[in-house]
Structure 1
């Protein structure tokens, strides 16, 4: 039962985070795992595990790593405004850099420490009730914030000029969306490790089913994320039984081909 609850809560958190970032940049290729935000959280969390530091610092460091990575990406991508394509390219570069940092940490420190970090990095849902409580607290706090920010995101999608004329503070709103999305994603990374592509896929499916951004669409996205991650974990447990795969392996197997499909459509549209 804790595993099921963690899968549902983690899927909702990741999907909502992906919906926020895609709406903010108005780009279907943006999600916290694609542009390196999850990798920043993972790098800080693995540093805690590999260095043998206090494990209680892991959630805080994961959130700090996600937020710092997001700030770096947005600063590097800023050129008199945001370009979705530029941000994706910068994010992919930052993602590669942070992946190299993770590899260094896994090679640098003793095997008895990094073995646990390596298993955790694969993204496993073998969790306890304390993990479920941490995810529940994060979701209870941040999901209402995400729903409140939806109206601002709707206005911001009209363009910067229209948003400012309607009284929306662009920079404050962007910072609020970034912090909320990072918090949702980093909480999941801190509890179960990185789980790729859920944040990318769920918003796409929700938009296909329900259309434009609304609060109802955000809730539908969260529910679809829960279903996707729960289904992925079921496949991970049963497909190669008695061997149990990490859920992150299955989400990556599902998300990789879909990402290529989205890239192809994006290039044709461009």
Structure 2
């Protein structure tokens, strides 16, 4: 007699706890569709809404040029910007959970720098290698830096703080090596690498979409399956071990997922900074810190941020086009300073 009401009460609480998350995700979806629609429609060659819908659905358009502009030029770019934002946001959320530090970010702790060094090395030293191998090289660089961070940070209760400090030091080293690589490269290869380092999705094609999509499809669900382990690790190593969690193994899996998502995103779009910092914080304000709610909202927020940054960079100062990495840095750097000030006040 007592069990049934309690069960009903728990089920109703579960449903109520999910309703705000569902509403937030729906709102983010609507905003994302609006931004993507404007990005596909507006620009140097405006596309009417009717032609936009017909082109996306694969139907003949009233203006033959509209199909080419939407499907060939803009749609791959829009999809890549959204996918990159999703990957970087989830990578940043995982890193903040692992380090128990809200200032952690793939760019700040050196993961992006490792991916950038590997990608620039491939571009400068092996310019004839097809670009399809770029994500694997960037993943390798990010993975090596991630392993170094993990090994040098050690284990124990203080390891999350050491992980951030070691990551910052390795980011500086990777940045110096990247600059050295650019110094000795051929001017044409260096120019291509510099454009890539600026963080831009301009000129991307369906080839890059198919290169990035498998990484997102594989590792995003993997990350969603590890949300409980991430919540447990946030309690501290001693508490997590007391709850039966294999801390080292769980941390290794989560670090691998974060590195894979950050490395593949950086390989395709370059070093787009601060998305992994901003998206988790914005999501945390909306749905709290439970990762089964936080991770999908952060992913949606990150995709929206990068898509909006690319749209604004392309249209605000037309015909001059600003890289979306510059737009995210313009927002993220002040936000990072604000977070530092907020933590100092606490």
- Provide TM-score, normalisation by structure 2: 0.75
Shift of residue 81, structure 1, vs aligned partner: 4.0
CA RMSD of aligned residues (A): 1.4
What CA deviation, in whole Å up to 9, does each residue of 1:139-164 have, x standing for no partner? Answer: 11001110111011111222222222
Check the 8 A contact 2:135/2:211 in 1, yes or no.
no
Alignment of 1:55-66 (within 5 A): 55=130, 56-66=132-142
Cα deviation, residue 79, structure 1:
6.1
Task: Name the counterpart of 1:29.
Answer: 103
Which stretch shifts more, 154-163 or 243-252?
A: 154-163
**Who is 2:207 aligned against?**
130
User: What is aligned with 1:234?
Assistant: 311
Residue 166 of structure 1: how far off its partner (Å): 2.3
What secondary structure sits across from 2:306 in the alignment?
Answer: helix
Q: Is the 8 A contact 1:37 1:66 kept in 2?
A: yes
Moved more, 54-63 or 42-51: 54-63
Q: Could you tell me whether the CA contact under 8 Å between 2:98 and 2:160 is conserved in 1? A: no
C-alpha distance in 2 between matches for 1:201 and 1:103: 27
Q: Is the 8 A contact 1:21 1:30 kept in 2?
A: yes
Quote the residue 1:88 is aligned against. Answer: 164
Q: Distance in 2 between matches of 1:146 and 1:19?
A: 10
Q: Aligned ranges for residues 220-231 of structure 1 at < 5 Å?
A: 220-231=297-308
SS at match of 1:196: coil
In the alignment, what sits opposite 1:115?
191
- Describe the SS at the equivalent of 2:226: helix
Q: Is the 8 A contact 2:85 2:306 kept in 1?
A: yes
Indicate conservation of the 8 Å contact 1:25/1:82, yes or no.
no
Aligned to 1:38: 112
Q: Does 1:152 align with 2:233?
A: no
- Secondary structure of residue in 2 paired with 1:31: coil
Return the alpha-carbon distance in structure 2 between the equivalents of residues 28 and 41 of structure 1: 22
1:15 and 1:225 in contact (8 A); partners too: yes
C-alpha displacement of 1:83: 4.1
Give the Cα–Cα distance (whole angstroms) in 2 for the partners of residues 200 and 157 of structure 1.
17
SS at match of 1:195: coil
Q: Secondary structure at the match of 1:240?
A: coil
Equivalent residue, structure 2, for 1:15? 89
Distance 1:147 1:9, change over 3 A: same
Q: How far apart in 2 are the matches of 1:140 and 1:59?
A: 15
For 2:287, the equivalent position in structure 1 comes to: 210
